[in-house]
Amino acid sequence: MNTYTTQTGSTLRGARSTGISPVQRLKMVAISLLALLCLTLSSTLWASTEASDAENRVKGNFAGAGYWREVSDGTEGYTTSKGREHGKLINVSGETWRDWRNRWVSPGGLYAIGGSLGLLTLVYLLIGPLKLDKPRTGKVVERWKRFDRTMHWFVAITFLILGFSGFLIMYGKHFVPDLFGYTFWKNLIAFCKLAHNYIGPIFSLGLIVMLISWMKHNFFNKVDLKWFLQGGGIIGNKHPSAGFLNGGEKGWYWLLFFGGLTVVGSGLVLDFPIFGQLRDTMQWANLIHGVSSLLLLAASFGHIYIGTIGSEGALEGMKTGYVDETWAKQHHDLWYEEVKDQAVDEKEVR
Amino acid sequence: MAKMKFLCDSERCIECNGCVTACKNANETEWGIQRRRVVTLDDGEPTETSISVACMHCTDAPCMAVCPTDCFYQTDDGIVLHDKDLCIGCGYCLFACPFGAPQFPTEGAFGERGKMDKCTFCAGGPEEDPIVEKEKYGANRIKEGKLPLCAEMCSTKALLAGDAQVVSDIFRERVVYRGHKDGAWSSLEGGAATPGQMSQEEMAARAEAFATDATFASNTKGDIIAKA
């Protein structure tokens, strides 16, 4: 005991008289950092590697490994706060969510959107818009009824508003404030959030009605298989046969069916935080919502391209409801055979 | 430059909720908003431990990293503050925060969240007019040269607030005075040192050696027990 005391004493005196070496200083910094870390953060390292050892050593002196294990397991304690999940000291999954969102979903979405836009630009520049192969006949057939068109544009417009506001919620902070200033950004992002929250459920209704009423057209058949084998006309020089909807259109339908319903479901979880859903649920919903909506957004560019500048005569169908016979014969020959006797003169319907 | 941090000494916290009351009083937060809370695990067991928790003003703050509007900013003192004018109430900061600090008042239509509210380290917020600042963000005691009221009023001085270096010095000194084996950190040099084995002088000497702040050098041995 005595020897020990003397030893320690002399060591300490020695250290003080000669000053503190850089190594010791480093050690002190390390120790102080460790002190902060131990009390403020749940340390999984602490819990796993030295668990039993450390637990015995510090028992009764301050919160030991057993305590931190409980904290990092998300055990609820007692608190007077009535805030949701306030009994939990540490939000265990928060950092994982942050990592997934910021490191994967956010850049991944940019790659998807950028890739889609880049690919379409390449297609436009290298292949160019698909022209009608024969002159127009001046006779048209009805393709989309008024109800179909209303649904389409209702869903399309709400989709674009949601896509735009969602994009800004995800990426806006990286460029809008720098380009347009604080006040503009403040108002824009507030509007985006409101638009996203209120138009979301309206979009959901439109999407569901549209999916239900168009489902009958969208079951795949052998014709579609051939359509896909020919790459929708890219492989070989003959335009593949198609019924009322071709394979690509059906593919877009089913993407909207599964992707769209996923976006809608996860979005509603986030939109109405009044049903007792906890942080974990909302973290998952957020990730699922982000991934599926960004993929849908990227895919929608393809649909928009083909429907507008990508293929001559396609937009007319959704605008007026009628398409020219030439277009119908070229793109949907099997369907045209069914309805060609209903063709009317263009002047009668416009 | 100082880095402001909170530290709650779990060995001292007696779950009196004084910090909670002090916070509520200093900041006059809205109904339903409690910026600070005390969490007790193993309530009633021998291992019962309480810790007071609020925003910990993280150096790498997750809320800042995920906020879609970039409404968070860090002061030169390392205090994490946010701009309520920019906040859109999306709740992302709450999903990311390790401590459950962000809270959202008054549910709007369909449960829409209001502007986020959290501990400001009693440093107010981005508002020129002090009256507006007080109403919107709560007290700005830092501007007056004071520390957060929760820590100032802590009856057992379990909750410490201030420059990280000073706070950790105080805590480390306590740990050494408590004198348990290895002083909780196994990297300490020297052999076994449990309360029964070490004299008060020795504890003082050890604490002095490990306290990097010069003010601790003037401690007399009479304070030793009080410090633990």
Flag if B172 and A82 touch (Cβ within 8 Å).
Answer: no
Give the residue numbers spanning the domain of B185: 179-227
Does any domain span residue B212?
yes
Please tell me what DSSP assigns to residue A131. P
Task: Name chain A contacts of B68, Cβ cutoff 8 Å.
Answer: 169-170, 172-173, 189
One domain, residues B34 and B79: yes
Query: For residue A174, how many other CB atoms are within 10 A of its CB?
Result: 11
Contact: A8, B68; criterion CB under 8 Å? no
- Record: contact A40-B7, CB cut-off 8 A: yes
Contact B41 A41 (CB under 8 A): no
pLDDT at residue A331 tops 70:
yes
Residue given tokens 């990227």 in the structure block: A298
pLDDT of amino acid A16: 39
DSSP-assigned letter for residue A257: I
Shared domain for B211 and B148, answered yes or no, is no
The count of other CB atoms within 10 Å of the CB of residue A48 is: 11
Are B116 and B222 part of one and the same domain? no
**Would you say A165 and A195 are in contact if contact means Cβ atoms under 8 Å apart?**
yes
CB atoms within 10 A of CB A348: 9
Q: Is A35 on the interface with B (CB under 8 A)?
A: yes
* B162, β-bridge pairs: B5
The two structure tokens encoding residue A215: 């489902």
pLDDT classification of B186: cutoffs 50, 70, 90: very low
First to last CA, chain B: 29
User: Residue A8: its pLDDT value, please?
Assistant: 37
**Per-residue model confidence (pLDDT) at position A178:** 96
Domain CATH number, residue B120:
3.30.70.20
The answer on pLDDT for B65 being more than 50 is yes
A338: CB partners within 8 A, 6+ apart: none
Specify if B160 maps to a domain. Answer: no
B95 and A282 within 8 Å at the Cβ level: the answer is yes
| DSSP labels, B113-151 | ----B---TTB--S-SSHHHHHHHH--BTTTTT---HHH
Residue A332 predicted with pLDDT over 50: yes
A266-280, B68-82, B198-212: range with highest mean pLDDT = B68-82
Provide the greatest CA pair distance for chain A.
Answer: 114
- For the stretch B50-63, pLDDT in tens is 999 999 999 999 99
Mean pLDDT of all residues in chain B? 84
Give domain status of residue B170, yes or no.
Answer: no
Q: Are residues B11 and B62 in the same domain?
A: yes
Residues B32, B125 within the same domain:
yes
Show residues of chain B in contact with A43, CB under 8 Å.
none
Tokens of B72: 């968070």
- A86, B39 in Cβ contact below 8 A? yes
Same domain? B184 vs B107: no
Contact flag A189-B95 (C-beta cutoff 8 Å) = no
Residue B1 has pLDDT above 60, yes or no: yes
- Would you say how long chain A is, in residues? 350
In a domain? residue B165: no
Q: Tens digits of per-residue pLDDT, B32-53?
A: 899 999 999 988 888 888 999 9
What SS3 class is residue A309?
A: coil
Q: Are B143 and B183 members of one domain?
A: no
Residue B16, chain A, CB below 8 Å: the answer is no
**pLDDT, mean of residues A60-73:** 73
- Fill in the amino acid letter for A274: I
A-interface mutation test, from B29, B168, B186, most A Cβ less than 10 A away: B168
Instruction: Provide the mean pLDDT of chain A.
Output: 85
Q: Which residues are CB-contacts of B86 (< 8 A; sequence separation ≥ 6)?
A: A185, A186, A189, B69, B70, B71
Say if residue B140 is in the same domain as residue B220: no
A165 CA to centre of own chain: 13
Residue B142 within a domain: yes
| Distance between A74 CA and the closest CA of chain B, angstroms | 11
Tokens describing residue A106: 């956010």
Q: Is the pLDDT of residue B217 over 90?
A: no
Contact A347, A152 (CB under 8 A): no
Q: Is the pLDDT of residue A47 over 50?
A: no
Asked if the structure places residue B44 within a domain, the reply is yes
Q: What's the maximum distance between 2 C-alpha atoms anywhere in chain B?
A: 65
Model pLDDT, residue B205: 67
Q: Which of A28, A91, A197 sits opposite B112 (nearest CB)?
A: A197
Which of B136, B152, B168 is the last residue in one of the domains?
B152
Strand-pairing partners, residue A141, are A323
Chain A contact set for B56 (CB, 8 A)? 40
Do residues B116 and B220 share a domain? no
Query: How many structural domains are present in chain B?
Result: 2
- Is B188 inside any structural domain? yes
Indicate the pLDDT class of residue A56, thresholds 50, 70 and 90: very low
pLDDT higher than threshold 70 for residue A304? yes
pLDDT of residue A271: 93
Which residue in B38, B97, B185 is closest to A91 by CB distance?
Answer: B97
The answer to whether the beta carbons of residues B53 and B37 sit under 8 Å apart is yes
Domain boundary among B152, B187, B214: B152
pLDDT of residue B189: 45
Position B227 scores a pLDDT of 54
More confident residue, A63 or A203: A203
- My answer on whether B220 and B122 are in the same domain is no
Q: Assign 3-class secondary structure to B70-121.
A: CCEEECCCCCEEECCCCCCCCCHHHHHCCCCCCECCCCCHHHCCCCCECCCC
Q: Which residues of B touch A16 (CB under 8 A)?
A: 209
- Alpha carbon of A134: minimum distance to chain B alpha carbons (Å): 51
Q: Please, are residues B152 and B169 in contact by the beta-carbon 8 Å criterion?
A: no
Q: Which helix (H) or strand (E) holds B62?
A: helix B62-66
Question: CB distance from A10 to chain B under 8 Å?
Answer: no
Chain B interface mutation, best of A33, A70, A189, highest count of B Cβ atoms under 10 Å: A189
**Closest by Cβ to A97, choosing from B34, B95, B103:** B95
Which stretch of A57-66, A129-138, A146-155, B128-137 has the lowest confidence by average pLDDT?
A57-66
For the residues B176-204, what does the mean pLDDT come to?
55
Residue contact A40–B113, C-beta within 8 A: no
* Distance (Å, whole) CA A335 – CA A175: 48
* Interchain contact, B10 vs A39, CB within 8 Å: yes
pLDDT of residue A127: 87
Residue ranges of domains in chain A, CATH in brackets? 2-72 (no CATH), 94-349 (1.20.950.20)
Task: Please tell me the predicted confidence (pLDDT) of residue A65.
Answer: 75
Q: From the candidates B12, B20, B39, B64, which should be mutated to test the interface with A, based on the most A CB atoms within 10 A?
A: B39
Residue type, B217: A
Residue B101 confidence (pLDDT): 96
Interface of B with A in 20-49 (CB under 8 A): 20, 32, 34, 37-43, 47, 49
A75-107 pLDDT, tens digit each: 899 999 988 899 999 998 999 999 999 999 999
Residues 249-288 of chain A whose Cβ lies under 8 A from any Cβ of chain B = 270-274, 279, 282-283, 286
Q: Is A39's CB within 8 Å of B165's CB?
A: no
Q: Is B18's pLDDT higher than 80?
A: yes
Q: Where are the alpha helices (DSSP H) in chain A?
A: 2-18, 22-40, 44-48, 51-58, 65-72, 94-99, 106-126, 146-171, 176-180, 182-214, 222-229, 247-255, 261-271, 279-307, 314-320, 325-331, 333-339, 346-349
Q: What is the count of residue pairs from A and B with beta carbons less than 8 Å apart?
A: 197
Share of chain A above pLDDT 70, in %: 81
CB spacing of A31 vs B89 below 8 angstroms: no
Q: Could you tell me if A91 lies within 8 Å of chain B, comparing CB atoms?
A: yes
Cβ of B63: how many Cβ atoms within 10 Å? Answer: 26
Q: Two tokens at A37?
A: 């870390």
CB of A80 within 8 Å of any CB in chain B? yes
Task: Give residue A20's pLDDT.
Answer: 55
Please check the confidence at residue A61 and state whether its pLDDT lies above 50: no
3-state DSSP assignment of residue B42: coil
A289-298, B1-10, B12-21, B208-217: least confidently modelled range? B208-217
Rounded Cα–Cα distance for residues A244 and A190 (Å): 43
A332-336 contacts at long range (C-beta below 8 A, 24 or more positions apart): A332/A242, A332/A243, A332/A244, A332/A245, A332/A246, A333/A239, A333/A241, A333/A242, A334/A223, A334/A241, A334/A242, A334/A243, A335/A242, A335/A243, A335/A244, A336/A141
Q: Which among B91, B71, B73 has a CA at the least distance from the CA of A85?
A: B91
In this prediction, residue A1 has a pLDDT band, given cuts at 50, 70 and 90, of very low
Per-residue confidence (pLDDT) for residue A235, from 0 to 100: 76
Residue B45 and residue B122 share a domain: yes
pLDDT tens per residue across span A128-160: 888 998 999 999 999 999 999 999 999 999 999
Look at residue B163 and tell me if it is in a domain.
no
- The pLDDT confidence band at residue A53, using thresholds 50, 70 and 90, is very low
* Interchain contact, B38 vs A79, CB within 8 Å: yes
Task: Please give the Cα distance from A9 to A3 (Å, whole number).
Answer: 10
Q: What is the pLDDT of residue B29?
A: 93
Rounded average pLDDT over B73-88:
96
Beta-carbon separation of B206 and A88 below 8 A: no
**Domain check: are B138 and B191 in the same one?**
no
